[in-house]
Structure 1
Amino acid sequence: MSTAELHTLTGAYALHALPEDERLAFERHLGACEACTQEVRELSATAARLGLAVSVVAPPAMRERVLREITTVRQEAPSHGRSGRSGAPAGRAGRWSTYALAACVAAAAAFGGVAVWQNQVARNAQEEAAQARQQNEQLARVLAAPDARTSSGALEGGARAAVVVSPSVNRAVFLASDMDRPPGGKVYQLWFNDDGSMRSAGLMDPSATDDTVLLDGPVDGASGMGITVEPAGGSKQPTTPPVALMDFPKA
């Protein structure tokens, strides 16, 4: 197995999904690859925290089905200094993104102004990628922090939720599973509870019943959080009674 292929096994290793021979080969690789070691550490911590929001036992066939599915999708190699590695295989999503971009460039060429359009697309893509990367790094820092504490509980309709707080990072992560989707044109908005005063902490994905959200802003002195149903785009202050209130875990 090549070094480039070993770089793609961090996710499967973190989930204990590698066969014995690949596991041994990857563990030898970890001894010489700090980037993969760091990524395995973050993925393992994230998987452990996400498991706190799960309230049902997975069906017996789940593991087999997941392992069968992941054989058809190549994981992207970690970005820690390896984005320019020659010979690294491109993922399927990367190839399709390249084809889609090429098609858009060809269409724009028919109308002129390709250089300006392409530069704008590149800038937008870079900005979005940087924001997503920063968000994921912050989320991983909270979940993997040595002082991270977790509080979990049940929500209406059988949903489960957990909140992870790290005083050292001064951020919190909310995890939910099996939540009912909000009514049309509405969204779940998260709030910090500052001694009864609610401070906006971001929005959940209205199309997802399972979600992991890095709360927007520092925890500071907040003692807990709440969830309300708000108009799409959110509100400056809660406009409906909370559908859930959770205390932050004690240090």
Structure 2
Amino acid sequence: MSGVTGTTGVDGTDDVRTLLGAYALDAVDDVERRAVERLVAADAGAAAELADLRAVAAELGGAVAGEPPAALRAAVLAAVAGQAQERPGGRAPGGARVDVQADTRADVRADVPADVPADVPIAPVVVPPPAPADSHPAPDERPLAPVVPLRRPRAVRWAGVAAALVVAAGVPGALALQQAQRAERAELAQAQVEEVQRRTAQQIADLLTDPSAVLVRGSVTGGGTATAVFTDDRSLFSATGVPEPEAGSVYQLWLVDEGVITSAGVLTDEGGSLVRLVDTGGVGSLAVSVEPEGGSQQPTTTPVVLLTQA
């Protein structure tokens, strides 16, 4: 951190204090570690600053590894849930179970000839009744012999069966394809969540090790503790133990610069923790107020915490 000299660094400079953030993250080599430990042993102010940085790193570590952003989490759940999954022979909209195979058998049964298994019914052949014994019909009125229907060629007879089997086989295949597509979307959404978390963790680490970083802590009205790490161009705000806002209300972060107040966005309350990394452009104060759901253009209530860079 800047502003403290008098201790020889690993490179012969007086800026071992700039390694405090890296030391808190266990991101120093053995030579730097010994230099920081000598500084902390000799300088009570550096020791206190290191303790604060370690506390912030612990808080933010839990925040970064916690629940993913609500929008991406919803996308993952939606992709995983998809549509209701039913086996072939699922339930119809009214709740009745549909047997795909039974319907298929019903469609092709009439096309199966008599030489197939006996459990397949055959369309009946109608034979005219015999003439009475005492009747003597004219030669041209004698009853005709029963007409035996000609069998269709084997390829034609089994065409319907084959088509039905193809349709039945395609049903589980289509369901498997849908499930694979949903799984792919879920994996993509999860990868996006992990990438956001990775970038956020890296940005926090970079900020904590920035030589210009200044750490400020304060109490939140109603409960909780807030911490801000200010640098020349970005700032990190975090708070823990804050009460959940009332229904219809949210926490909103503000940049305060010589009386000019600019919104830095609505904060998501994750189990009493708030975290936001913002581009401040050198602004030296951060404030949080409770606002109507959706946020406000300017604060409508007294801030519950105001952190100002000394």
Q: Please give the TM-score of this superposition, normalised by the length of structure 1.
A: 0.52
Residue 214 (structure 1) aligns with:
276
Residue 51 (structure 1) aligns with:
55
- Partner of 1:119, secondary structure, is helix
Matched to 2:193, the amino acid is E
Uncovered stretches (5+) of structure 2, i.e. residues with no partner? 1-22, 34-48, 59-64, 66-76, 88-173
RMSD: 3.9
Q: CA–CA distance in 2 between the matches of 1:109 and 1:236? A: 49
- The one of 227, 232, 236 aligned to 1:162: 227
Q: After superposition, give the CA deviation of every residue in 1:216-244 in whole Å (9 maximum; x if it has no partner).
A: 3x111313111111233433433333222
Residue 203 (structure 1) aligns with:
266
Q: After superposition, give the CA deviation of every residue in 1:189-239 in whole Å (9 maximum; x if it has no partner).
A: 11111332222223333243344x2333x1113131111112334334333
Uncovered stretches (5+) of structure 1, i.e. residues with no partner? 1-36, 55-75, 77-99
Sort the Cα spacing of 1:221 and 1:122 in 2 relative to 1 into closer, same or farther, 3 A: same
Matched to 2:226, the amino acid is A
Residue 237 (structure 2) aligns with:
174
Sort the Cα spacing of 1:156 and 1:200 in 2 relative to 1 into closer, same or farther, 3 A: same
Deviates more, 1:192-201 or 1:150-159: 150-159
Matched to 2:276, the amino acid is L
Residue 40 (structure 1) aligns with:
26
Map 1:11-160 → 2, pairs under 5 A: 40-41=26-27, 48-49=52-53, 51=55, 108=85, 110=87, 112=175, 113-160=178-225
Q: After superposition, give the CA deviation of every residue in 1:62-106 in whole Å (9 maximum; x if it has no partner).
A: xxxxxxxxxxxxxx9xxxxxxxxxxxxxxxxxxxxxxx9xx969x
Q: After superposition, give the CA deviation of every residue in 1:98-120 in whole Å (9 maximum; x if it has no partner).
A: xx9xx969x75857212332222
Contact kept in structure 2, 1:190 and 1:215, CA below 8 Å: no
Residue 253 (structure 2) aligns with:
190
Sort the Cα spacing of 1:205 and 1:50 in 2 relative to 1 into closer, same or farther, 3 A: farther
Contact kept in structure 1, 2:24 and 2:53, CA below 8 Å: no
Sort the Cα spacing of 1:243 and 1:155 in 2 relative to 1 into closer, same or farther, 3 A: same
- Partner of 1:215, secondary structure, is strand
Q: CA–CA distance in 1 between the matches of 2:25 and 2:277? A: 22
Runs of 4+ in 1 over 6 A off after TM superposition: 44-47
Sort the Cα spacing of 1:149 and 1:222 in 2 relative to 1 into closer, same or farther, 3 A: same
Matched to 1:41, the amino acid is A
Sort the Cα spacing of 1:227 and 1:173 in 2 relative to 1 into closer, same or farther, 3 A: same
Residue 115 (structure 2) aligns with:
none
Sort the Cα spacing of 1:52 and 1:38 in 2 relative to 1 into closer, same or farther, 3 A: closer
Q: CA–CA distance in 2 between the matches of 1:192 and 1:235? A: 13
Residue 231 (structure 1) aligns with:
292
Sort the Cα spacing of 1:104 and 1:206 in 2 relative to 1 into closer, same or farther, 3 A: closer
- Partner of 1:41, secondary structure, is coil
Q: CA–CA distance in 2 between the matches of 1:38 and 1:160? A: 20
Larger of the two Rg values belongs to structure: 2
Q: Please give the TM-score of this superposition, normalised by the length of structure 2.
A: 0.43
Sort the Cα spacing of 1:108 and 1:131 in 2 relative to 1 into closer, same or farther, 3 A: farther
Residue 98 (structure 2) aligns with:
none
